[in-house]
Structure formats: C-alpha cells, structure tokens
Structure 1
Amino acid sequence: MGRGTPVVRLLRATVVPVTLVVMIALAGVVLGRVYAGSLLTMLVAGAAVGSVAVSVVTRRLPSWLVAPVSVLAMFGWTVVSLRVAATQAQVPGGFVEVAGDAARNAIPRLLTAMIPVEPTPDTILLPVVAAWLAGLAASEVALRAGRVLLGYLPPVLLHVGAVYVVGPNAEPAIGATVALVVAAALGLAVPSRAAGDDPVDGLDPTARSGVRARLAVASAAGTAVVVALAALLGPAVAALVDSRPVDPRRYVEPPQVETLDENPLIRISGWALNPEQQLFQVATERPDAPDSTAPADGPPGSAAGGGGVRIRLAVLSDYDGVTWRVGATYRNAGRILPAAEPAPYATVETVRQEITVGDLSGRLLPAVPTPREVSGARVAYDPGTGTLIRPDGLVPGLRYTVTSARERPDVNLLATASTPAGDAVARVLHVPDGAPEQLRRLATQLAEENGAPYARAAAIEQWLAEHYRLVADAPSGHAYPNLAFFLFGPRNGGGQRGTSEQFAASFAVLGRLAGLPTRVVVGFAAAESGPVRAADAYAWPEVLFDGLGWVAFDPLPRPDDEPRPVEEDFRPKPEDPPPSEQPEPTLEPTASPPAPAAAGDAADSGGVPVPVLAGGAAGGLLLLVGAALVVLAGLRRARTRARLHRGDPAQRIAGAWRELTDALRLAGRPVAADLSASEVATVAHHALTEAFDRSTTTAEAGGGGGGGGDGPVAAHRAVDDLARLINQVGFAPGAATVEQAGAAAEAATTYSGALRAARSRWRRVLWSVHPGPLRWPH
C-alpha cells in the first residue's frame, strides 16, 4: 500500500481527537477572559486532553466500561485542579471542607463572582467538570460511533455556554470562535475511513456503481444543506458579533445581609453603652507611611486622631428620610479586588492590617479604605461603596489580612475645590421628601453665609461641633423626626445631645440640603496595633470633591467644650408675617346698660329672685355637662382597655393599631383604609413632628404648650414597632405572642400620649372626652 500508508493512518487516527481537544480548550479560552490569570484556561485544557485521551485509550474496551473509567479519571483531575486553585488563592480550611463548599456553591458563586473572577475551588469546579464531560461525550460519538459531525455538538454547546457566562463582561470572542470553526473544518476534511475500508469493496461492478451513486447523491445533498444553512444563518450570526449579550448575573441573587449590616449606624448607641467590649484585634503595617506631618486620621481625642488609623466597617449612601442604608450589591471576590483610579490630587498610601475577630458580629468586615487584597477569608465586595462582607458571617477567632490603598487628599486644594453634579452622583445628592422645615432653614442659613463647597461643609461641621453635646446614652435614631429633635429639641428635654450617629447623619442631611454630595461611614478609630473596643466605634460624614475624592469631616465636639445654645444663632422665622396695618379699633356700645332693679322689687312681687333662678339653672346645666363628660371619659377608657388587654395576642395588637389610627383622627390626620401599615406609620411620623414643632414654637413664644409624653423619639420608635407587629399579624396571624401584644399596647399608649401632650391644654381635655372613637367604624 506504499510507504505513506502508516502516516496516513496515524493522521486519520489522531486528527479527530486533536480537533476535539482544541475545540474544548477554546471554550476555556473564552471563559478565561473574565478570570484573573491563565489558571482556568490551563485547567480546562487539561480536562480536554484527559477526557479525549481516556476515550482513545479505552477504544477497544466495551462501551459500557468507558464512562466509569473516564469518570474516575475526571474525579482525579478535579481533585488536582481544586488543590492547585486553593493553594494559589490561599483559601483557608482543609481540602475536604473546601471541596464540599465548592460542590455546594459552584454555580451561584460563578454567576455572582466579581469580574475579574479569581480561580478558586468554587469558581473552577463547574468549568473543569463541564469540559471533561463534553470531551467524554464528543469522543464516544465521534471516535467510537464514527459520527464526527455529531460529535462536535458537545464542544460547540460548551463554547456557547462559555460565551453566555461571560456575557457583556468582555469583548466579543471573535478569534476563539473563528478558531473553533477552522478546527472543526480541518477535522471534517480528513476521511474517516482507511483505503481498505471502502464500503464498495467486495461488491460486483453493478452493485458497486449503484452504491457509489447513492453515496454521491447523499454527499451532494448534505453539501447543499450545509451551504443553504450557511447562506440563511450566516448573516444572522454575523449580525450578533457586535451585539452585547445579556448578563446571566442579573438572574442570580448576590449575597444578602441582615438589617444590622445594611444599616450598622443603629449599632453605634449599643456599642456606646458597652465601651469595654473587645470587637477585634488589629496589627497595622504601613510600608510607605508618610512623614509625621500627615493629617490625623480620626476624630479629636480618639486613638486615630492621635496618630492611629481609621478602620471602615460600612459606607451608607442611601437615605429615605427614615434610615441610612449601605445599598450595596455584593459580588463574590477572590484575594485581589478591583482597583479604581485614585483621585488625581490625592496621595495613595499602602496599609496592611492583620485583623482577628473577637465579639464583632454580623457579616461586615472591617478594613482600612480602600481594600485591594484580602487573604484568609472568603469575601464579597461592593466596588461602589468599598464595603466588604464575609457571606458566611463573622466568628470569634477569624483572622484575615487586608491590604488597602488609602487616599489622602491634598488639603491645600480643598478651599477652591468644586463638587460634582449630575446623574453620576444623584444617589449621594438625593434628599427624600418630608424634610422638616427647620432643617431646610438651617441648611439655607449656613449655605447663604458660605459660598464655596468646602466652606459650606466646614460651616456645618463647626455648627454641629459648637452647639451640641456628645453623650453615650442618647437613644438611637436618625429619621427626620429624630434629627429635628436632636437639632432643635429643648435642651432640658433630651434635645441637642446625641451619639456620633446623630452628628454624622445630621451633617449628611444638612450637606445634601446645601447641595453637597454626602454619605455616612461607620467604622472605628483605632491605634496602630492592639484591641479595638466598642468605645472606638463611631460614625463620620464624607463629602465628595472633584479631583480629591471623598473627604472625611468630624463634626464631633471637643471633649472639654461647652456647647453654645442653638437659640443664640438660629431663630426660626415666624410662620405668619405681622399685619402691615393697625387693626381697626373696637367700637363701644352706644346704648346705656339697663339700670339694676331695686332690691325690693322682687320681694314686692312675691316671686323667686332672678339671680337665684339663673344660678340654679346654670348649676344644673354644669352638672349635666360634667356628668356627660365623665361618662364619655369612662367609656373611652373602657374601650381602650378592651382593645389593649382583651382577646388573643393578635386581637390585642389589632386593637393597639386602632388606638393609633384613632389618635391620628383626633389630631386631624385621618388615614384612608387602603393604606399599608408602612404608609400609616409615615403619616404618624409626620403628624407627631408637626405637632411637636407647633408646641415648641408656642412654648418659645410664651404661649404655653404640652410636654413630650414619653418623648418624641420614643414615640417615633413606638410607631415603627407597632407597624412591624401589625404586619406580622397580617401575614402570620398565629405567630403573635403575649409579650408582643404587651409591647403593642405600650407602643400605642406611648404614641397617643406623645401626640396628645403636644397639643394645647384645652385640646388635651377635649381629646379625652371626644365621642368619636366610640362611634367611628373600624
């Protein structure tokens, strides 16, 4: 058969397996475009070589043995791949633990991982296994069954899947796709049978010519079909080259956090009451630390302010008038985090910290801003805010290392720096509806007196530092009513004092009202090394400046400064302007009053004296009115007791909610029946704020006014607690407890008492005897 026959046979035996290996490896090239480094591509290529080689070696074995042998080999290659990935990514934990975690979470973590994806056990497991199975299926169909074209289907599907997973996160894979088509064409160009395998061998001439004719017709028909499909589908496929595919990550929910992690600002007051609680340990290294003239990194009097370091826990950019929230979209990340461009006029300093978790709970990971590399813990990251979380939660003893790029803005440029505007910063400029008028007036006053953005920010910082007192036992709260009470409440009634929560939140809201892009940061002012305790926790505001980035401000007062009364520098404008003209004088009556009757006239008439008759009638009328009022007050109290203390817990919570809606109706703020509990709570917040503002203004004018009941802050909390309980009753009726019913009764009593106390004396009296709640439908 000639000297070239062995070479031709070797070519026929190797070209299809090599083609399959190349096609599968190209899927790894496509997927590797969103991975950091080339490890993923090499592991997929190894799976392609291994799966096809196993099928070639076991070609002489029965077909039912090939799959078990190949799966065993796949298991071995997967173990090797997981070990290599875990070692390179420095994933903590034993191999069994790491492999089990990867097997459970491979798909969601691959689709929620941050781009570029670091090759870790959970992000390489699915591609490696899919590549091996595609190679096994393709080899068996193309090599054992001889259906080469059909055997190309698994690699093509793997390629399409890789393109889909990448989505719009990389440029179109034109080169890899063209290479796939070329490899497939080369594989089809080589005949699949040897010369001695001609199907017409051994037939008589007549039968041989018939078979060859049928083969020629079939080949021509197949070629025509391929050409027709290319002509029909070619333009459509070419048109998709420049289109951006849909990102599959939009269909997968990223890691979520609890309320305390979404709004860690509410933890400040709790930490302030347990100052010695050790939250974590820190050891800091600064390889390129600046000279000693660098500005302090913390609030006055803190460890950071004395040469320490400010550690950030979370960045809160979203505010809805009630709560500050992180509002982050966390993506699973590897050791290397995406690096953003530093501000042009800021100095970047590398800070490396080793942190050991103590009593700190939740999922938020403390780190110096802005983290660039994390080892020792699997993390998720939000590039928009720079907030880190550990999806599995913090546990005592967890140790990890963070390398951060801390930016120090050029303070010499702050005085003339501008602030950005537009859609890019709309999130940090948004002021929700319902801002109290007093806050707007104060922000306007400070903005009018200071034109430049930095001057406005500095004025707000100075105002808060000079007029308010920092205390540890102030209640938590940063909704509009809480901030209004903190800024303008009576000093002897709990106002004008708060934790760093109120200082930072007030600065951020006043800054936005003055046109500054602001946000609130929760973190710790810590020493370079040593324990970080609850007393080190605090919140601070930041303002965004063009070219300088986010600049921190510290509106906290100096420890030894005595705050100046707010009334000395801020007087709310009167609601109604004084009349421009003098009022008309009151006209005196022209007729003379009737002369009094002589004392003896009545006696002479023989009847009862007129004063006695008038006095008796008036006294009787007063007795009747007094009795009616007493009866109404008694009925009202009985109705309240029945609502709050009778029936099962769900009925008592519903009764407490009726007490709240009745109180709103008595205050002139009835709520529609179709409003949700959250919407009713919003109306209740506004009603109490307006009532308190009116009572404060009246008291300052000397006209008297009601007290605060249990205080407006407690009343606002009571509304939120009651709304949460009534929602629970609505969606889970059988879950209410006796303790929750008691809490609902206390919340309704607190709010009603505060709303009633904010009214004038006569209105408070009428409140208790108003017959409306006895007849209003519910």
Structure 2
Amino acid sequence: MSAPGRRDLRARRAPRVRLRFFVAQAALLDLVIAVGAVATWPIYRSAAFAVMVIVASVAAHAIAAAGLRWRWNAWWLAGATIAAYLVLGLPLAAPASLSSPAQALSGAVAVLRAPVTGWKDLLTLELPLGSYQATLAPALVVFLAVPVIALSVAWRGGRFWPLAVGTALLPTVFGIFFGSAALLSPFVVGPVTIPREALVGLAAVVAALGAIVWRTISDRRRAIATAVASTGVRATGRPLRGLAGRIVTAGAMVTAAVVAAALAAPWALAGQPREVLRAGIDPRLEIAAELSPLAQYRASFADETYARTLFRVDAPTAADRVRLATLPFYDGRVARVVDPGAGADDPRTAFARVPSSLPSPAGAPSRTVRVTIDTYDDVWMPTVGAVTALAFDGGDAASLADRFYYNAETRAGVQLGEPGLRAGATYSQDAVVDDGAPSLADLDPARGGPVLGGDVVPESLVTWVEAQEASGGGAGLATLIERLRARGFLSHALTVDEASPPAWADDLGDYAFQPSRAGHSTDRIGRLFSDLLAREGEIGGDDDAALVSAVGDDEQFAVAGMMLADQLGFDARVVVGTRLTSDEPTLSTCDDGVCTAGDLAAWIEVRGDGSTWVPVDVTPQHAVSPSPDTQQRQDPKIPTEVRQEQADTVLPADADPSDGGRRPDDDTRAAPDLTALWTALRVGGVSLLTVVLLFGPFALIVLVKLFRRRARRRADDPVERLTGGWQEFVDAAVDHGHPVPRSQTRRELAAHYGGTAGATELATLADRSVFDATAPDPSDGDRFWAVVDAERSRLDDGIGWWARLRARVSVRSLLRRSGRASPTRRPMPRRRRDR
C-alpha cells in the first residue's frame, strides 16, 4: 500500500481509536465511582439512592462529553453541573416532596440549602436515611460533580490526568466518612472473617490501580504510535510478552496484598472503634447540661403548676404509659439521662435524629399516636412505646424535626430546638406498644451480682434487703418492691400550711401530711431505709401497716427500686412520664388523655436475662400514715421527761428541697434571654456563609489578579516593570478569550491580539527593555503602564457586561504556562576582543 493510502487509513481509523479510548477511560472511572456507590449504600439503603446514582451518572457523562465537544472552560462546566443539580435535585434528592405543591416548594428550598447545610443531616440522623426529606442532596452533589470533573480531566489529557483517578475515589471517601460508626456484619469464608469495610477499601484501591495502569499503557502505546508515524521506524522486540509479564507480576502483587489484608484486618481491627465524622456529632453535651427530670419532679406538685395541663395524648387502648425521659445512669447524687463519662459506643447515650422511619422491634405492627402540646415546654419529648416514625405539624415542623433526637435503646426522645416545644405544637407518632409483657415475678436475673458500687448504694439498703429474707430472682424482687411500697408513705413536700393544705393533698382524700425531704442522693435513699430498719427493730413482725415509716414520693422510691433490682442482678432504669391507664385505682392517670402536672410519675423498668423491659410502679401508699405513738408501744429503757410544748420543728442539716437536682457549680442566677440575639447571629452567619461559598471563589480570583498587577506595576527593576506590564497585557488578552501564547514573538502576539498601535508599542518597548544594551529609563515604566491600561480598556470595548465580568473572574491567565522566552535581566554587552 502506498504512503498516501496508509495515511488515509490512519485518518479513517483515528476517530474510532479516540472513541474507544474515551469509552474505555469512562468505563474504568465509572468502576471506581461504582465502588464509592457501594460504600455509600449503607447510609441510605433505598431504591431512590440507586436511581439517583444512575441518573446523576448519565447526566455527568453528558455534561463532560458536551464540554469536550465544545471545549468548555471550567466555568461553563461548573455552570452546566449546577444547572443539572437544580433540575434534577427535586425529583432525585427529595422524591417524597412531589406529593403536593406545598411539599414540593419545601423540598425545593431544602435542595437549594443542602449543599451548605445538608451535611449536618447525614451526621445527626439515624441510619439508614432512605429518601427522608432532602438527605439525598449531598450524595447527588457528589455523584454528579465527581464524574464531571474526573471525565473532563481524563478525556482532555495532559499531565494532570492522575487527578481524575483521585477525584473518582471521593465517593468512597464520602461513604466512609459519613457512614455508621458501627461496623457492618463481616463476610465469613470458612475460618476467615473479612470486614465488609476492608473489602470496599480494597476494591476501591484495585479499581483505581487498574485505571492508572491502563492509562499509562495507553499513553505509552500512543506515544510509540506517534513516533512510528513520524519517523517510519518500528519498535523491535516483543512488547506483548513483556507487557504480559508485567501484568502477571502486578496481579500477583495485588492478590498477595489483598489476601494478606483480608487475613490481618480482623485481627488488627478487633476491638477498635470505627472513627467517622458521625462519631463526633451527637447531642449528648446539650442533654447532659439539662437538669435531671427526676430532680425537677417535685416542682410539678406546687399549687401554681399542679392543675396545669401539659399535653394531650390520643393513643390506642393498648398504650398505658407516656414516656418523657429514661434515666439509666446514677452516680450517687442524681439520676441522669446521659452520663458524660459514658463512651460514644454506649447505646444508652446514642441519641440521633430520626429519618423517615425506624425498624419495628421484632416486626411488631405500629400504631398511630397523636400528641398536642399545651403548657409543656421542657426538652423531654412525650412519646408512647417504641417510636418507628414521627412527624411534626405546623409551620415550624422542619425546625422541630431538625432538632428532634431519639434513643432507640431507652425509647426516649428530646427536642433541643429553639424555642422548642410550645403551646399548640402537634405531632403524630407511629409506635410499637408492648402487649402482654411478662410479670416481674417471672424474670430471671441477668447477672450474678450488682453493678452499682458500695459508694453509691447505702449500707442501710443492703442491710434491709438481707433482713427481708426474700427469695432470689423476679419473685424476690417483686416481694421487696411490694414491701417497700406498703411500708412507705407518699408525701410531696417538706412543709405545708395546715390551714390551707396543697392541692395534691386534697386530691388524696383522707390524708394526714408527713414531711418529706426532696432529692434522691445516696444519703437521702440511705435515710429512707434507715427509717425502715429502725421501725422494724422497734416493732418487729411483718404487719406492713405497723411498719410504715419511709416517707417520700416517686423521686426517692424510683431510685430505691432501681437499687433493689440491681442488688438482685437485674438491669434497671428509672422512667419519668405519665400513666394513661392503671390497674391500681390509687395511682394517678391522665383523664381522657389529658395529662396535667399532677399526673407526672416515676417508675422503674426491669430487665432480666432477655431483652424485654418490664415496667414496675414504685409509688408508695398514702392510706396508712406512720403511727405517731410507735415509740410508746415499748417501755423506754431510760425514762425521759418529754416537754411537748417546747418542741420546735427543726429542719435537717443542709436541707435543700432541690437536693440532687443541681450540681454544686451550677449558677442559679437568671441569665439574660439571648434567644433573639443568637437566632439573628445564626441566621446572619448562615447567610454570610452562603454568600462566601457562592461568591468567595470569584472574589478570590479578582484579588489575586489585583495583587499580581500591583506587584508588576511597582517592581523596583525597570526591566521587570516593563516585562511585567507586557505579561499583564497578555494575561488580559487571554482572559478575554484570545489564545494562550506558545512560541510567538511579542510583535506576532501584538498583531494577533489586535494589531493596534498601542499593542505594537508595548511589544517594541518590552523587546527593547530586554535586549537593548542600555537600561530603560524609569519614566518609561509609567508611560508603558499607561498604554497597558489603555489596551486593557480596549479589550473591553464592544463586548457586553457579562463578557467583561467573565474575563475578570477567568482563571486562564492564572493557569497558563509561563510564556516568557526572554530573561528579565539584561545581558551584559559584549566586549570587543583586541587582536
């Protein structure tokens, strides 16, 4: 075949070769990105995520291909990507909002805000997210922008193509950093246990390595083909055999590394927590700063709050309790919802935001509960049973949902928003209500001994338990709780006005008041059992009515019941809430679902060796009052004259009605209300951050060019001042769309950039300053820069404001290779050699 024929054949084959190159390069990068999609799947676990990834990938390939075809610069590619995000955002990132126009508008706003604020949802919501609100928007940003950048860099070639592979790994990084803090269930292959996270990481590394190897081989082949075409000399040797050997060697090395990592990963990661961004984001600090709801319990029985309606509950008949807070921690001073010292991996402290739904315990059916807030304004959310879904109503529903956190282990929720729950707030809750819970007597201990230490449990409690000689297990605990309630007496105050008894005392009917100190510290519980032991020592027998001596209310008796359960080997925790129904008529309940402050109660939940928590009421009786003449039933060993008329009531030492409710270092002074100020600062900060993110890069480009121009204009060396002015003219032309200079002379560039007298003068003066034997005059710099400013203005003539703005923020002059071919220092003049 003749040489022209071979050239024609190569010309016809060239488009097909380029097409195969583009397709193969895209396929390898898509494989790397697909591994990232697998890594991100546990965050969502939804078909909507798969649809989003596919559609975003198709749109990204179209944008990258269009940018390659029409040679778009970075700003056009960014604009097309942003436009695609705005168009696809609502149907892909918030598909649930398409059910109504109002929800669609709300979803569109959430999609617009997601690139700035949506990352918080990924870190605070309970996984998996599904398609809840606009939580898919951050993933859409990643899976739309990453392919556009990676394909554009790889297809356009150049020495920066390795950045395309690094960019394609970003979805994998996204899936790891925003994923769960708990490891997924591993793959078990015979005796080998392989963590799924390790497999995903290995797959990403292997896919990226494959893309790099293929691109390196492809570039080498093209370079050899170009050399052969230009020189006609063919390469000798057997490149295929050498290539096959290198591939086999690389494959063996990768296989060995994968096998070694698979064998070593389970041993190396055993017992190690998974550090992700989610592990450092939780509301525990805010919850820990709140006062214990058990310490605030007695304040609800003051006359000014006792009859106040807190909330209304519309619940199914099977629901018998409303939970406000669960307190599984006790340090001897106060029972707490969270323990600041507990680790982040403790499920009792794992408060997280609720996505669209939570799995039902044991697959039990959910029932709908509706709660309406009246005067209740605390952070502890009224919930029924196990929450599987919760939706707020009203205009502030979005802000309330953003600050609602739930702990599935303790079945407790908190509302940390500002202003939070207030009158008129309503929400619907899907709940799983436990039916047919086992009785306390049927439980078996979960362990062989107590968990609470001797510094927390009073000695009098241990002595009282031993004195009861009750059997072990659930039956023994039921006996101890029954005796504790029967020998206790209900009282909500330390002192009362006998002429005007409190409202809670009137509701108890025929009631004889007894003083009771607040608090539930170890000392307070110890006094409770010391009174029981003293009465049993004086009276003896097992007549509960005669042995009534422990005075208190649910605050003390709940903690006492928790300690008793712990002593017998049971898991126990305190719950504060209200009862909707009760088998005991003496216990307060919410009438027709209307819960008042006087209906607040505290009980304990006990768990044996199973997973079911059994609620146990611990409220003491109020029908039989402690006998005032108990000490007269036995003759005193040392008769003493008692002068009753001189006896005065003396408060216990350091008595404090709020004992245990506030830490010693808490400041009781009323702090100024800065809610409006913080709200304004937060809104202003978010707005300022949005403006900075949107316009900051453009402002930065303008500032960099301004400083560059100032440095060139004020250069000390006259030559640098003139050559810097020439570079400023060239940069301005490049930013206005003129081609980047390659090997042209200054006069050729001046002609190419307009050919005006001013451009020609700039080229002449710049050449003279470099090549002339004498240095330019300093005054020439001012005249030169005046011409530069005139030429920059000329480049703006005849174009619109949008084109001028685009030139100001263009980065072409910042990224172009330096076109200086001449030194900035003048050459020394040659000296004539004397012959």
Common fold: TM-score over 0.5: yes
Q: Does the 8 A contact of 2:127 with 2:355 survive in 1?
A: no
Q: Does the 8 A contact of 1:260 with 1:266 survive in 2?
A: no
Q: Does the 8 A contact of 2:96 with 2:132 survive in 1?
A: yes
Q: Which residue of 2 aligns with 1:199?
A: 226
Q: Which residue of 2 aligns with 1:275?
A: 306
- Structure 1 residues 204, 505: closer, same or farther in 2, change over 3 A? closer
SS at the partner of 1:46? Answer: helix
Does residue 405 (structure 1) correspond to residue 432 (structure 2)? The answer is: yes
1:134-213, aligned counterparts within 5 Å? Answer: 134-145=146-157, 150-166=163-179, 168-170=182-184, 171=186, 172=196, 174=199, 178=203, 181=206, 185=210, 188=214, 198-200=225-227, 203-205=230-232, 208-209=233-234
Counterpart selection for 1:264 from 277, 293, 296: 293
- Structure 1 residues 144, 553: closer, same or farther in 2, change over 3 A? same
Q: Does the 8 A contact of 2:48 with 2:130 survive in 1?
A: no
- Structure 1 residues 529, 516: closer, same or farther in 2, change over 3 A? same
Q: Does the 8 A contact of 2:473 with 2:568 survive in 1?
A: no
Counterpart selection for 2:577 from 518, 523, 531: 523
The CA deviation at 1:130 is 2.1
Alpha-carbon distance in 2 for matches of 1:77, 1:370: 36
- Structure 1 residues 180, 449: closer, same or farther in 2, change over 3 A? closer
Counterpart selection for 2:320 from 303, 309, 328: 309
Q: Which residue of 1 aligns with 2:280?
A: 252
1:343-742, aligned counterparts within 5 Å? Answer: 350-376=366-392, 377-378=401-402, 379-392=404-417, 393-409=420-436, 411=438, 414-421=440-447, 429-431=451-453, 433-446=455-468, 448-471=469-492, 476-488=518-530, 496-526=550-580, 527=590, 530-547=593-610, 549-558=612-621, 561-565=623-627, 709-712=650-653, 714-715=655-656, 723-724=664-665
Amino acid at match of 2:357: I
Q: Which has the larger displacement, 463-472 or 172-181?
A: 172-181
Q: Which residue of 2 aligns with 1:115?
A: 127
- Structure 1 residues 216, 50: closer, same or farther in 2, change over 3 A? farther
The CA deviation at 1:70 is 2.3
The CA deviation at 1:248 is 0.9
The CA deviation at 1:385 is 1.3
Does residue 81 (structure 1) correspond to residue 92 (structure 2)? The answer is: yes
Alpha-carbon distance in 1 for matches of 2:157, 2:432: 58
Alpha-carbon distance in 1 for matches of 2:664, 2:223: 86
The CA deviation at 1:276 is 2.2
Q: Does the 8 A contact of 1:261 with 1:364 survive in 2?
A: no
Amino acid at match of 2:172: H
The CA deviation at 1:29 is 2.5
Alpha-carbon distance in 2 for matches of 1:539, 1:699: 43
- Structure 1 residues 262, 443: closer, same or farther in 2, change over 3 A? farther
SS at the partner of 1:403? Answer: strand
Amino acid at match of 1:404: A
The CA deviation at 1:510 is 3.0
Q: Deviations over 1:268-311 (max 9, x none)?
A: 2122221222222221236xx5xxxxxxxxxxxxxxxxxx7211
The CA deviation at 1:410 is 5.2
Q: Which has the larger displacement, 100-109 or 127-136?
A: 100-109
Q: Which residue of 2 aligns with 1:584?
A: none
- Structure 1 residues 13, 546: closer, same or farther in 2, change over 3 A? closer
Q: Does the 8 A contact of 1:25 with 1:41 survive in 2?
A: no
The CA deviation at 1:157 is 3.7
Q: Does the 8 A contact of 1:106 with 1:125 survive in 2?
A: yes
Does residue 14 (structure 1) correspond to residue 7 (structure 2)? The answer is: no
Q: Does the 8 A contact of 1:444 with 1:514 survive in 2?
A: no
Alpha-carbon distance in 1 for matches of 2:574, 2:452: 13
Q: Does the 8 A contact of 2:334 with 2:660 survive in 1?
A: no
Alpha-carbon distance in 2 for matches of 1:16, 1:539: 65
Does residue 63 (structure 1) correspond to residue 94 (structure 2)? The answer is: no
Alpha-carbon distance in 2 for matches of 1:710, 1:137: 76
Does residue 32 (structure 1) correspond to residue 44 (structure 2)? The answer is: no
- Structure 1 residues 141, 431: closer, same or farther in 2, change over 3 A? same
Amino acid at match of 2:578: F
Alpha-carbon distance in 2 for matches of 1:372, 1:255: 20
The CA deviation at 1:540 is 0.7
The CA deviation at 1:143 is 1.0
SS at the partner of 1:139? Answer: helix
Does residue 329 (structure 1) correspond to residue 350 (structure 2)? The answer is: yes
SS at the partner of 1:285? Answer: coil
Q: Does the 8 A contact of 2:518 with 2:656 survive in 1?
A: no
Q: Does the 8 A contact of 2:576 with 2:601 survive in 1?
A: yes
The CA deviation at 1:699 is 12
Alpha-carbon distance in 2 for matches of 1:84, 1:706: 76
Alpha-carbon distance in 1 for matches of 2:139, 2:311: 38
Q: Deviations over 1:452-509 (max 9, x none)?
A: 4223333323332343124367554111222234455699xx9843332122122222
Alpha-carbon distance in 1 for matches of 2:661, 2:314: 41
Between the two proteins, what is the percent identity of the paired residues? Answer: 21
- Structure 1 residues 548, 72: closer, same or farther in 2, change over 3 A? closer
Q: Does the 8 A contact of 2:202 with 2:258 survive in 1?
A: no
Alpha-carbon distance in 1 for matches of 2:628, 2:127: 50
SS at the partner of 1:407? Answer: coil
SS at the partner of 2:226? Answer: coil
The CA deviation at 1:86 is 5.2
TM-score normalised according to structure 1 size: 0.61
Q: Which residue of 2 aligns with 1:129?
A: 141
Q: Which residue of 1 aligns with 2:811?
A: none
Amino acid at match of 2:137: L
TM-score normalised according to structure 2 size: 0.57
Amino acid at match of 1:462: R
Q: Which has the larger displacement, 265-274 or 229-238?
A: 229-238
Q: Deviations over 1:114-170 (max 9, x none)?
A: 333344346433322222222122011111226766522211243244245446532
- Structure 1 residues 283, 502: closer, same or farther in 2, change over 3 A? same
Counterpart selection for 2:54 from 22, 28, 45: 45
Q: Which has the larger displacement, 538-547 or 163-172?
A: 163-172
Q: Deviations over 1:304-352 (max 9, x none)?
A: xxxx72111121111111111122221222132244449xxxxx67432
SS at the partner of 2:325? Answer: strand
The CA deviation at 1:405 is 1.7
- Structure 1 residues 28, 391: closer, same or farther in 2, change over 3 A? farther
Alpha-carbon distance in 2 for matches of 1:499, 1:164: 48
Q: Does the 8 A contact of 2:57 with 2:144 survive in 1?
A: yes
Count of residues in correspondence between the two structures: 564
Amino acid at match of 2:295: I
Amino acid at match of 2:655: A
The CA deviation at 1:443 is 2.3
SS at the partner of 1:266? Answer: coil
